[in-house]
Amino acid sequence: MVQVPGGVPDGVVFTDLDGTLLDHHSYRYDAALPALRELDRRGIPVVLCSSKTRAEMAELQAELGIDGPLIVENGGGIFAAADSPWAGLLPQRHGGLPARVFGTAYPALREGLAAIREVFGPGVRGFGDTDPAGVAAWTGLPSRQAELAWQREFDEPFLWDPEPATVDLGRARQRLAAHGLQLTRGGRFWHVLGDNDKGRAVSWLLERWRDAVGGRPPSLGLGDSENDLPMLGVVDRGVLVERRDGTHLAPRPAGVMTVLGQGPVGWNRAVLEWLESLAVV
């Protein structure tokens, strides 16, 4: 039987980053520190689950001082460090690391974006159409982080100007479907991706975890955008945090909760409330 740290923990947290654990504007997580410290004290793993690249997420994970698998680029892949105790859960190797890959290779995503641009014109611009300096200008990230964000493997973020009407979304999805691809929306960007999403990766990891240790821990998922909904739908408790404009994503599926407080403020509140509901605080 594959071993992971501590057997079955009291719980596990799956979290989006931008606009959720990280502030939408500053990318800071200070307001979430009380809950992060309590999770660490209780030995409850935090699994980062984002549209960010594995290069970005590995750096942030080290800064946060957390250890666990990373679900990268909208569920395109799950990765662990080669020496991580979680590595045994992942049956493949990708980029020299233990992995489970679900996503489509980046060149095929670029072809899909080109198919959309043929219909909607030059206002459709992806990360592959610019350089790290352009990504920094679009995102407000420092140059080093923009360089890491530019290193795409399974997901192509893009700007769409002007914003599409509902009929345009239908046409774009049809074009992408002809390439075996799909479209979703994050906090800042639209995304072209393959047959993957955050929910599929989270479900796979939870089942693999159950098979390895003989039990599935209670799970919490936190996000703020459309691309988070598949993840929020497969955990035991899914929570939408307040967005930068003071609203919550709508409509939301039945069973998905909301919490007041933008980004890491709401994240902190939701995690502490969940811990209280588990009677572990």
**How far, CA to CA in Å, does 101 sit from each of 11, 92, 189, 220?**
25, 8, 23, 23
Beta carbons of 247 and 261 less than 8 angstroms apart: no
Burial of 30 (C-beta count, 10 Å sphere; 0-12/13-18/19+)? exposed
CB-based burial label for 245 (10 Å; 0-12, 13-18, 19+): exposed
Sheet holding 12-15, edge to edge: 46-48, 12-15, 219-223, 237-242, 257-262
Amino acid type, 5 = P
Name the catalytic one among 10, 16, 67, 168: 16
Judge whether 16 counts as a catalytic residue: yes
Burial of 271 (0-12, 13-18, 19+ CB in 10 A): buried
Q: What phi, psi does 22 have (nearest 5°)?
A: -105, 140
Catalytic residues: 16
